[in-house]
């Protein structure tokens, strides 16, 4: 008997559909009123680290080079106080087969799908992950469907997203494009149910742990090149899996404290599901419209429990502006002869500023790059912005208003990160998790401490302020 396929009916079956499509019983990891056993979920639904490395290497993923940006470091030192200006390195993930670090996640998702006997995979993504899944699916000889949130109501799609569709189709995937808003998730669920394909989610345990190899390699490479550990690692943050997997990989290779800094583009004031705002931004990922919501409520993803929990691992969270990222992208080309996509340079813009706080003998590592070309190129994105009425000019980055203008810094010294308060994000996370509760078990309290990477005292104070009781 055919099940009803209208929007409400499909959404009402989402947990059943996702469980069938990913073959993980998430309910068994829940405990108390809000807690779940995160580490057990990861351990039981991922592969041993050495096997993960072997799978990836066998499929064109990993062992990307770490490169020192000597000219960019020298430029940063001209903006810093005497004795300041850390050495800047990048892990060049653009050299994975599909052109981004997301190949590490896709390799494990496609391996799992093949192992479980699925005939194909489906991913809902507008960006690099779609190309990564399509590339890996081609290697494994399985079908692939990519669902993209692509167009506004006028049928206009961002050039970066159009370029990703081209890449996905080149790898043999079928691409289905939707308008901005709730249509994407509905179409995604409907296709999972109709095809019986595997949900190659960005937020599955094997997908997120697939990035652990990147964190591990990053430290390993730094030691080989310099004989030292990195002092800071900057990670572009959107859905949180990039930061989560990298931090976990770093912890695998060393107990030494290495500061993990998340970086996002400031798109404050733009609504990511708004038809009118959709094409008034120049970044489809790595921005605060994803970063902050996923930090404060990770389980808004396409699986019941996300394996991406960035607040557990983040030491700092900073933002940069669109114009600053475009400017550092052009600077990377001009000074280092490396042309990479702007989204991958979000963390580079942040690192350029952060390096100036550090001593000259210290090391800061930019955790990833991405390929560029066609619609992904910074010039194409700036041209699209101008066509959509965005004012583009040189000036002070603080004058930038997302959706109104893009301010390219009139001087390189004006590139400066802005700090986000982690405690405010921790409070938001706790409030989101307890909003339907009036009291908690002791185990829930312990879960919140782990989830926020804070203290028992901090969590109790937030609960008290929100009139939530707890067991002692």
List, as one string, the DSSP characters of 406-464.
EEEESSGGG---EEE-HHHHHHHHHHHHHTT-SEE-HHHHHHHHHHHT--HHHHHHHHH
Q: Is the pLDDT of residue 362 over 70?
A: yes
| Contact status, residue 265 vs residue 322, Cβ threshold 8 Å | yes
Q: Are residues 95 and 228 in the same domain?
A: yes
Q: Are residues 307 and 334 in the same domain?
A: yes
What mean pLDDT is predicted for residues 162-170?
Answer: 94
| Contact status, residue 338 vs residue 332, Cβ threshold 8 Å | yes
Where is the domain boundary, 420, 438, 457?
Answer: 420
Percent of the chain with pLDDT over 90: 89
Partnered with residue 123 across adjacent β-strands are: 146
Q: Are residues 444 and 366 in the same domain?
A: no
Q: Are residues 395 and 427 in the same domain?
A: no
The pLDDT score that the predictor gives to residue 77 is 98
Average pLDDT for the chain: 95
Model pTM greater than 0.85? yes
CA dist 316 and 318 (Å) reads: 7
CA dist 27 and 139 (Å) reads: 33
Domain enclosing residue 454, as ranges: 422-470
Q: For 116-134, what is each residue's pLDDT tens digit?
A: 999 999 999 888 999 999 9
Where is the domain boundary, 379, 398, 420?
Answer: 420
Q: How far from the centroid of its chain's Cα atoms is residue 353's Cα?
A: 21
Q: Are residues 341 and 371 in the same domain?
A: yes
Q: Are residues 441 and 379 in the same domain?
A: no
The pLDDT score that the predictor gives to residue 272 is 81
CA dist 445 and 422 (Å) reads: 19
Using only C-alpha atoms, the chain has a radius of gyration, in whole angstroms, of: 22
| Contact status, residue 93 vs residue 221, Cβ threshold 8 Å | no
Q: Are residues 410 and 438 in the same domain?
A: no
Q: Is the pLDDT of residue 1 over 80?
A: no
Q: Is the pLDDT of residue 271 over 90?
A: no
Q: Are residues 344 and 274 in the same domain?
A: yes
Percent of the chain with pLDDT over 70: 100
Which residue's structure tokens are 């066998």? 58
| Contact status, residue 410 vs residue 323, Cβ threshold 8 Å | no
Where are the strands (E) in 111-241, listed by range?
Answer: 120-124, 143-151, 174-179, 198-199, 232-236
Q: Is residue 137 part of a domain?
A: no
In this structure, of 67-76, 159-168, 448-457, the range with the lowest mean pLDDT score is: 159-168
Q: For 23-38, what is each residue's pLDDT tens digit?
A: 999 999 999 999 999 9
DSSP string, 141-161: T-EEEEEEEEE-TTS-B-HHH
Which residue's structure tokens are 């059943």? 16
Q: Is residue 395 part of a domain?
A: yes
The pLDDT score that the predictor gives to residue 273 is 81
What mean pLDDT is predicted for residues 177-185?
Answer: 89
Which residue's structure tokens are 């980055």? 397
Report the interhelical angle of 49-57 vs 212-226 (nearest 10°).
80
Q: Is residue 81 part of a domain?
A: yes
Q: Is residue 161 part of a domain?
A: no
Long-range contacts of 71-74 (CB under 8 A, 24+ apart): 71/335, 71/336, 72/331, 72/332, 72/335, 72/336, 72/352, 73/355
- Widest distance between CA atoms in the chain: 74
Q: Is residue 303 part of a domain?
A: yes
CB count within 10 Å of CB 392 equals 16
Q: Are residues 391 and 437 in the same domain?
A: no
Where is the domain boundary, 378, 393, 420?
Answer: 420
Q: Is the pLDDT of residue 445 over 80?
A: yes
Number of domains in the chain: 2
The pLDDT score that the predictor gives to residue 472 is 84
What mean pLDDT is predicted for residues 219-237?
Answer: 98
Q: Are residues 329 and 286 in the same domain?
A: yes
Q: Are residues 438 and 399 in the same domain?
A: no
CA dist 289 and 270 (Å) reads: 7
Rounded (5°) CA angle 458-463-465: 95
Q: Is residue 383 part of a domain?
A: yes
Q: Are residues 384 and 456 in the same domain?
A: no
Q: Which CATH number does the domain housing residue 303 bear? A: 3.40.50.1100
From residue 65, alpha-carbon distances to 44, 100, 329 in Å are: 31, 13, 19
Q: Is residue 188 part of a domain?
A: no
Q: For 7-22, what is each residue's pLDDT tens digit?
A: 999 989 988 998 999 9
Q: For 249, left (φ over 0), alpha (ψ -120 to 50), or beta?
A: alpha
The pLDDT score that the predictor gives to residue 469 is 95
Q: For 412-424, what is each residue's pLDDT tens digit?
A: 999 999 999 999 9
Q: Is residue 38 part of a domain?
A: no
The pLDDT score that the predictor gives to residue 287 is 95
């Amino acid at each position: 008997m055919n099940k009803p396929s209208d929007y409400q009916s499909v959404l009402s079956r989402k947990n059943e559909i996702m469980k069938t499509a990913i073959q993980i019983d998430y309910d068994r990891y829940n405990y108390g009123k809000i807690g779940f056993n995160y580490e057990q979920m990861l351990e039981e639904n991922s592969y041993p680290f050495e096997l993960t490395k072997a799978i990836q290497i066998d499929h064109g993923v990993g062992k990307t080079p770490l490169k020192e940006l000597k000219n960019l470091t020298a430029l940063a030192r001209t903006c810093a106080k005497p004795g300041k200006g850390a050495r800047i390195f990048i892990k060049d993930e653009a050299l994975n087969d599909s052109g981004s670090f997301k190949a590490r996640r896709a390799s494990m998702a496609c391996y799992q799908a093949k192992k479980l006997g699925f005939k194909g995979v489906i991913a809902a993504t507008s960006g690099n992950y779609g190309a990564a899944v399509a590339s890996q699916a081609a290697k494994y000889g399985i079908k692939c469907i990519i669902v993209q949130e692509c167009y506004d109501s006028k049928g206009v799609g961002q050039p970066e997203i159009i370029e990703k569709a081209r890449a996905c189709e080149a790898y043999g995937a079928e691409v289905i494009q939707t308008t901005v808003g709730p249509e994407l998730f509905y179409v995604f669920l409907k296709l999972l149910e109709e095809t019986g394909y595997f949900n190659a989610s960005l937020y599955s345990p094997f997908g997120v742990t697939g990035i652990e190899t990147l964190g591990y390699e990053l430290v390993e490479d730094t030691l080989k090149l310099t004989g030292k550990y990195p002092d800071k690692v900057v990670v572009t943050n959107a859905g949180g899996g990039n930061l989560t997997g990298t931090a976990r990989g770093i912890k695998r290779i060393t107990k030494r404290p290495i500061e993990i800094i998340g970086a996002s583009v400031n798109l404050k004031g733009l609504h990511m599901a708004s038809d009118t705002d959709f094409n008034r931004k120049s970044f489809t990922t790595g921005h605060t419209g994803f970063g902050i919501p996923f930090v404060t409520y990770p389980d808004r993803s396409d699986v019941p429990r996300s394996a991406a929990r960035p607040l557990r691992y983040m030491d700092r969270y900073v933002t940069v502006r669109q114009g600053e990222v475009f400017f550092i992208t052009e600077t990377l080309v001009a000074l280092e002869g490396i042309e990479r996509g702007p989204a991958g340079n979000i963390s580079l813009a942040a690192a350029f500023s952060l390096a100036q706080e550090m001593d000259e003998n210290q090391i800061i590592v930019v955790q990833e790059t991405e390929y560029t070309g066609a619609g992904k190129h910074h010039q194409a994105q700036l041209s699209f912005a101008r066509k959509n009425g965005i004012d583009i000019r040189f000036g002070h980055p603080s004058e930038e208003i997302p959706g109104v203008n893009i301010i390219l810094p009139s001087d390189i010294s004006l590139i400066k990160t802005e700090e986000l308060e982690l405690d405010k994000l921790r409070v938001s996370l706790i409030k989101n998790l307890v909003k339907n509760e009036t009291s908690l078990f002791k185990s829930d309290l312990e879960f919140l401490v782990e989830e926020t990477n804070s203290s028992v005292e901090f969590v109790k104070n937030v609960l008290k302020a929100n009139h939530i009781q707890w067991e002692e």
